[in-house]
Structures are given as structure tokens and as C-alpha cells.
Structure 1
């Protein structure tokens, strides 16, 4: 049986974090929240929540590293604490937390796999965000020579920590919005299996987003450039593994 914890990256998200933690507390699973150098108001909220929820521990960055940097810190901390798997949950209330038990069941059934939700959107999703995500998915399919990764941007997933932290230690991964797709591609290159679970996602009104259109789009474009050439180098191995999976059924 897997030993789970929950990792929440948090930079100034205070509006719904109490509600998120309240829903998670019923699972009786340890929660690691990474404070990514939030402001004083947020730190006061986190201190109160740390007292309110016995399962919660807060790890603090002195300098802001971005969402990806916070997740990497959380995963490494979880691995050092002896957990086998970490469930990434965003702090902004977008995810349907009722699906966590389904994610855990899938992970217990396939402990070596990365288990990720793929979003089912309602009308609250901004159209430009939806189209941008699809463009990213196309690049991911090219970079893996496969349609295995159904969604690469959803931050609601279960990481097998042995494989994930080994990758983090060996490769310098993106630390901002480029992290979510990059770690999936690189784990796929290492032959980690994937399972996807459809899950409802909402974009709350007045939700706080740290996406920086110019800087993050430049980072993601540079990421896909690097991954594309990485795919070219690995293409014989990727094709070989794909053939093995196909004919090994």
C-alpha cells in the first residue's frame, strides 16, 4: 500500500485555502504546504492554519521560486519524510477534491505510474487559456511521439516520489509555469507509465492567478524548444519503447 501525503504550493493564496484544507483534512493524510515567500498577510493566515489543522506542516521559501520550484521543494521534503507518493493540489480551489480518493485508488493499483487528472471544464474557463492549453498538448505529443499524456497542465496529480525526486536531483527543471508539462515529458522519457482521470475544474470568479503572459509564455516556448531537440536525440529509444508497449500487449 502506498504512503501518501499532499503537497500544496502557495504564493499569497489566502481566499479559499482554509476551505481547501478543511476538505482535505477529512482524508487524514499529512499535508505539506510550501509557502513560496508569500507576503506578511498570507504568512499570518498560514500560521493560523498551521495551528488549526494537525495534519498541516508549512515549509517556507525565503525567496520566491515560482509554482514549479515550490512543488519541487514539497516533493523532495515528502520523500525525505519517507512518503512513497505525493498528491499535488493547487491552493486556488480549482480542483474537485472529491476525486482524491479515486486518484489514491488508481495509484495503489499502479504504484509506479504517475496519476493525473485531465480537466473537464465548465463555462468559467477563459477561452484563451483553453486554446493555449491545447497548443501545449500538441507540443507534448510531438515531444513524446505519443498521445499517452492526455493533459500536461493540470496541477492535480499523484507523483511516485522515487522516480520524481530522482529526476529533480538529476535534471534542472523549470521552476514556474513550465514545470507541470516538463516533468511529465521527462518522466515519460524515463518510461514511467501514466494514468489519467477526468475531473471537473472551475475558474473561480476573482481568482488569483500568478500566470505572467509575457514571461511565462517565453519560458514555455523555450521549454518546448529544448524538449523538441531532446526528443530528436531520444527518438530511437522512444520509438523502441512504443513498439514494445504495442506488441507486448
Structure 2
């Protein structure tokens, strides 16, 4: 296994340096994807990219979190990596858990290693409660509870099946990305390992979640996935029964 951390960045110049430093302290190479950030953040990323084992992929215009991830996943595979650890640039994820994620990916290289958030009091209650609607739809669309939280952007992707998926199918480009790619990977047979991990929302954190736009995109995503699940239903049921019988 050859693993890189993959960080999509949009105007998180004040926070991303600390995240990179903590990942590098664990020996992880880092791939930064500049998603059309402002000039100040671009300068920070240029400075970071001068460090050993830190790469920079720059997009000419903002494409959204999903668009940055698509570019980063392809770039990571092209650079010779077998796996990518997705982590946010704003410091909300427990970077010290990256080692546990990496160890699980090493032991289970064909699985999606997905963070299962444990929140403290800093989480906005509207965001917390709103996630449950997505959880329910994901459990319906995957016919089970294997994926505990599809919206957590702290996870390890095996790159071969993931890049094959994004080259073959259209996946959401914004905040709908994390859920949609996880569901579609599961439809293709990937198993999931859920890892409890602390998530906090810094008081000075910068969120790019647009309540109206992103909720509409997520609603449309769930609609697409539901009808996609219906025509896959015989195959999904057959796989589910096969796993039950072999357990």
C-alpha cells in the first residue's frame, strides 16, 4: 500500500498549514488541491508545496469540494499512490487518527475506511440533526446499516476502484460528493469499515456549506440514488443474502 493524504482547499489558508504539519509528523505525504482559492491562500499553498513530500494540484477556478476531490483522486493515482486519505483543510478532523485509518487500510486494502463522527458541543445543532435524513436515505439505498455516516469527509479510498468509478459515472461536484461516491462504491461491492473519530467545529472555522444550494443538491442526489437503487435491487439483494449466508 502507498498512501497519501488528500486535502481539498478553498480559502483555508489560516488553518491548512497546521493540518499539513500534523500529517507530515506521522510520515504521510500530502497532496493539496487548491480549488480556486484567493491569492492569500494560494501563497500559503505555494509555500507548503516547497516542503518535502507535499504536492500541490491547482484548479483554475472553484469547482466545489467534489470537483476538487475528483481532481485529487486522479492526481494521486497518477503519482503512483494506491490509497488516498481524504481529510478537511479546516482542522475539524482529529488528524492524530490518520495513523489508525492508515493501519486499517493496510490490513484491509480493498475496503472503504470511513470516519464515524463523535461530536462535541461545538457542532451546530441544525447540521447535526439534518444529517439523520441523509443517514436514513443511505441505509435505504444500500439496503443496510454498514455505512454509519456517509457525510464524513475523513476516509481512506482504495484508488483503483474509486478512480474507475469516477471515470465511468457522474458524481456530485459539491457537498453531495461524499455521500454519493460512498454509496456508488458500495453498489460496486466495496465493503466499509467505520472508525469512530472526534469532530469539532472551530469557533473561527470557515464553512462553505450553502444551506439552500447544497440542501437542494443533496435532495436531488438522494432522488437519483433511490431510483438507481431500484434498478440495481435484484443484484443488491443477491449480494446482501450471499453475505448473510457466508457470515
Query: TM-score of the superposition, structure 2-length normalised?
Result: 0.98
The equivalent position to 1:130 in structure 2, one of 108, 119, 128, is 128
Q: CA deviation at 1:88?
A: 0.4
Corresponding residue number in structure 1 for 2:79: 81
Could you give the per-residue CA deviations for residues 40-94 of structure 1, whole angstroms, max 9, x where no partner exists?
Answer: 111111112222x212111100011100110111110011111110000100000
* SS of equivalent to 1:159: strand
Corresponding residue number in structure 1 for 2:21: 22
Q: Which stretches in structure 2 are left out of the alignment for 5+ residues?
A: none
Corresponding residue number in structure 2 for 1:36: 35
Alpha-carbon distance between aligned partners in 2 of 1:77 and 1:48, rounded to the nearest angstrom: 20
The equivalent position to 2:205 in structure 1, one of 203, 207, 210, is 207
Alpha-carbon distance between aligned partners in 2 of 1:175 and 1:220, rounded to the nearest angstrom: 11
Matches within 5 A, 1:151-162: 151-162=149-160
The equivalent position to 2:182 in structure 1, one of 181, 184, 209, is 184
Aligned pairs, how many? 247
Q: CA deviation at 1:201?
A: 0.4
Displaced runs of 4+ in structure 1, greater than 6 A? Answer: none
Q: CA deviation at 1:118?
A: 0.4
Q: CA deviation at 1:27?
A: 2.2
Alpha-carbon distance between aligned partners in 2 of 1:55 and 1:23, rounded to the nearest angstrom: 13
The equivalent position to 2:58 in structure 1, one of 60, 79, 82, is 60
* SS of equivalent to 1:118: strand
Corresponding residue number in structure 1 for 2:141: 143
Corresponding residue number in structure 2 for 1:233: 231
Corresponding residue number in structure 1 for 2:170: 172
Corresponding residue number in structure 2 for 1:92: 90
The equivalent position to 2:107 in structure 1, one of 106, 109, 120, is 109
Q: CA deviation at 1:29?
A: 2.2
Could you give the per-residue CA deviations for residues 2-31 of structure 1, whole angstroms, max 9, x where no partner exists?
Answer: 110110000000121111111011122221
Q: Which stretches in structure 1 are left out of the alignment for 5+ residues?
A: none
Alpha-carbon distance between aligned partners in 1 of 2:28 and 2:123, rounded to the nearest angstrom: 30
Query: TM-score of the superposition, structure 1-length normalised?
Result: 0.98
Q: CA RMSD in A?
A: 0.8
1:28/1:55 contact within 8 Å kept: no
Corresponding residue number in structure 2 for 1:48: 47
Corresponding residue number in structure 1 for 2:196: 198
Alpha-carbon distance between aligned partners in 2 of 1:119 and 1:113, rounded to the nearest angstrom: 18
